[in-house]
Chain A
């Protein structure tokens, strides 16, 4: 009776979810790079990234990650 249909469907679904997550992660990665670059890098006297700029980018990414974690936690804390 087993057609293998259900298992296959689940595998497909998992593959779709995985693929969507990858796509989202890539878009996010690009967005964060763009944003932190725009806000942190303001001068172009040199080709190399300065210390201040690098620290700024690191802080920017870290803050983004913290924000992201809070945002992810929020819905469950609102569940009553």
Chain B
């Protein structure tokens, strides 16, 4: 029955929780993007230890397209999950 002067403990907990979920989401997104572009762009014969020019451009475009797809999917799924 305390007078609310600021966020309650529950609300603070929720805010931290949300921030954590947000971070988790970003890490997951990054991992998936990396995985997808590795699959699409890297020659599996691994003939050399460097990225060649073709692989470099492919990766650049792949990342660009992946972001576009993510944004599009986000719009269709009702943008970021609401709190």
Contacts and interface: CB of A to CB of B under 8 A. Distances in A.
B77 A41 contact: no
Interface of B: 1, 10, 13-14, 17-18, 21-22, 24-25, 28-29, 32, 35-36, 39-41, 57-58, 60-62, 64-66, 68-70, 72-74, 76-77, 80-81, 83
Contacts of B69: 33, 36-37, 40-41, 49, 57
Interface string A17-32: 0110111011111101
Q: Is the interface of B mostly helix, strand, loop or mixed?
A: helix
Size category of the A interface is 35 or more
B48 to A, nearest CB: 20
23 contacts: A15-B14, A19-B18, A22-B18, A22-B83, A25-B81, A26-B25, A27-B28, A29-B74, A29-B81, A30-B28, A30-B32, A33-B29, A33-B73, A41-B69, A44-B61, A47-B61, A48-B64, A54-B72, A57-B73, A61-B73, A61-B76, A62-B76, A65-B76
